Structure 1
């Protein structure tokens, strides 16, 4: 039986950056994943957007650090992970949405985020050709950006190997035993391992990991679909998030949708269904593409002639309030959660990886303590993430 300082369950958007940060701090770490290689769960289904313009201190500070890591990775480590600082934008087509966005912007500016309100004329300069009928303006945060989920997680993975992190792929966790002794035992279908601490970063299967030690974590996956087009010459700047719900008698109702043009010129887009599809089924549906295409072309007619290469379906491991669950459990302080990322594990992952490392090494800062209050498992979950 091999012994480690930390065992991480899950080699995804959070588990791999955590392994990187821990191994950089000379912590002996093992990552266990049931799939064949890193990022084969929901990470490879992420669309790549990275923003700090959230609605609370926890996500804002975590994402700010993630942006620092993504944006400087090539300069520091030499790997091109497809980072571009293309920004995020939330256009408003109703007075109500404009008011809500401006109110949220006050909170965001209180954290010194680079975000401003653009008039319709100013917004048309960065998104030329967008539908200007009833356009009230838009928030725009030029410091946000995007990077390739595939390139990024592999860069983090190979760098963590250089620092000594170990991985076991194609191994399913079957049992977790926590006794009064100093070590936690992990049994898989291929072996047994012990560690002083365990980090649950199991994504869709975070709840099942908790059940192995008699705890029930409020995380339930629901499905979202995305798609990608052929590459074309760049013709607009930021991620565009259309907040408006939409009703069409011919298709299912939908909530917001969003899209951007990546570093290779491909347009990547995703839609939030109004009636959520619970569970982990990953087959693409026939409803998504006609539904989202109609909305996108109405908003931005220039998109009409793009050819879609493929669609896919992935999950958001959701909590009741839309915020992650991160930190120690009261019942078992050496069992640490990093779960319920609500579809934002990719953008939060690098920042969370460093936070998890400081939890393990007992080096939390006051900001860390404040962030963990927002991500506390024992909160009442009565809040709600704004404009997720």
Structure 2
């Protein structure tokens, strides 16, 4: 078989791999992306509901998502493509003193990075979202510069731009092994060919662990199943993504928003987590989430649900991504464990990966990489996942 030579091979054409290919090709690197699926974004990306925020509690994710937001928000003016971007903001509501304390405490970190987010008391919050249940509402935080976009439209826009810049994509091709010689990566073998490169990026999402094992390595990423749904389209009545972090039987939190095209999307975080890879939708999801939705916003009651689906969150032990060079093998670069936030992290992570490979890391990059290193102890949990 003919052996093709590249500067970088990316395994995975999803929320991270595709924008990484775009950023690397933009740096002049010769890039190949390999994916077993028929087109980009057919793994966890197509299960994403499209929320994009920089208002995290972890400084590394704040920095990465600030850049992602810039890319999403300016895509149509720069490239002339509608990716469904809607700057509706994010709202975290507080109905108990627990949520009030948590959200107010997080404002200190969030504001220190220049994020446009504030606490709003009950009446001010209801001015923004009048349909919230006012009974027991204390207030909440609102970040107007956050928003949403279509994962499908976005991933295809990034794919087309990556191709325009020179990146090559090979679909319906199964990676079989990552070649390692003398302690460093030399390329990838698939069911259709051999490809040489000094750098291989593991951007395989929920499949990151078996891909790492192809190089004789291991990375602590395990899929966690989450279910979502979409309603019929209706006239716009809701601006921001609304997030309720109150725990309830069977769920840790839930969130919903109205797309630019009018549909309402909603998702729940199961508690306890549901580990595995069975992406079949269930009969338990709607009975679990519906009471929470209608309690928080009774106006949603008449909406008809069009469909439900289930996706995989690639989880790490501490709930934060793993981005950095594998300690066991030189040239293997991890961009995995996005914990269900790969869509919003992807463009920012992609540019960081390009700087790691091409050179030019900034002091802010170094701080992000120290926080997300594969060699960390994985202690603790992010306060606002």
TM-score where L is the length of structure 2: 0.98
Cα shift at 1:334: 0.8
Please give the alpha-carbon distance, in whole angstroms, between the structure 1 residues aligned to 2:215 and 2:345: 26
* In the alignment, structure 1 residue 136 sits paired with structure 2 residue 141: no
Q: Which runs of 4+ in 1 moved over 3 A?
A: none
Please give the alpha-carbon distance, in whole angstroms, between the structure 2 residues aligned to 1:336 and 1:266: 38
10-19 or 131-140, larger mean C-alpha shift: 131-140
Cα shift at 1:183: 5.8
Deviations 1:304-363 (A, max 9, x none): 000111100000000011100001112223110000000000000000110000000121
1:218 to 217, 220, 225: 220
Q: Is the 8 A contact 2:184 2:331 kept in 1?
A: no
Please give the alpha-carbon distance, in whole angstroms, between the structure 2 residues aligned to 1:380 and 1:77: 41
Please give the alpha-carbon distance, in whole angstroms, between the structure 1 residues aligned to 2:330 and 2:201: 11
Deviations 1:23-74 (A, max 9, x none): 1111000000011100000101100000000112110000000000000000
Q: Is the 8 A contact 2:327 2:374 kept in 1?
A: no
Deviations 1:126-157 (A, max 9, x none): 11121111111000000100000000000000
Task: Supply the RMSD in Å over aligned alpha carbons.
Answer: 1.0
Please give the alpha-carbon distance, in whole angstroms, between the structure 2 residues aligned to 1:258 and 1:349: 21
Q: Is the 8 A contact 2:185 2:332 kept in 1?
A: no
Cα shift at 1:181: 8.6
2:96 corresponding residue in structure 1? 94
* In the alignment, structure 1 residue 325 sits paired with structure 2 residue 322: yes
Cα shift at 1:190: 1.2
1:387 corresponding residue in structure 2? 384
* In the alignment, structure 1 residue 346 sits paired with structure 2 residue 348: no
1:173 to 172, 175, 179: 175
TM-score where L is the length of structure 1: 0.97
Please give the alpha-carbon distance, in whole angstroms, between the structure 2 residues aligned to 1:125 and 1:181: 60
Ranges in structure 2 where 5+ consecutive residues have no aligned partner: none
Cα shift at 1:383: 2.3
Please give the alpha-carbon distance, in whole angstroms, between the structure 1 residues aligned to 2:102 and 2:272: 23
Structure 1 SS opposite 2:33: strand
2:147 corresponding residue in structure 1? 145
Ranges in structure 1 where 5+ consecutive residues have no aligned partner: 248-252
Structure 1 residues 96 and 163, CA gap change in structure 2 (3 angstroms): same
* In the alignment, structure 1 residue 67 sits paired with structure 2 residue 64: no
Please give the alpha-carbon distance, in whole angstroms, between the structure 1 residues aligned to 2:157 and 2:222: 29
Please give the alpha-carbon distance, in whole angstroms, between the structure 1 residues aligned to 2:87 and 2:383: 23
Structure 2 SS opposite 1:117: strand
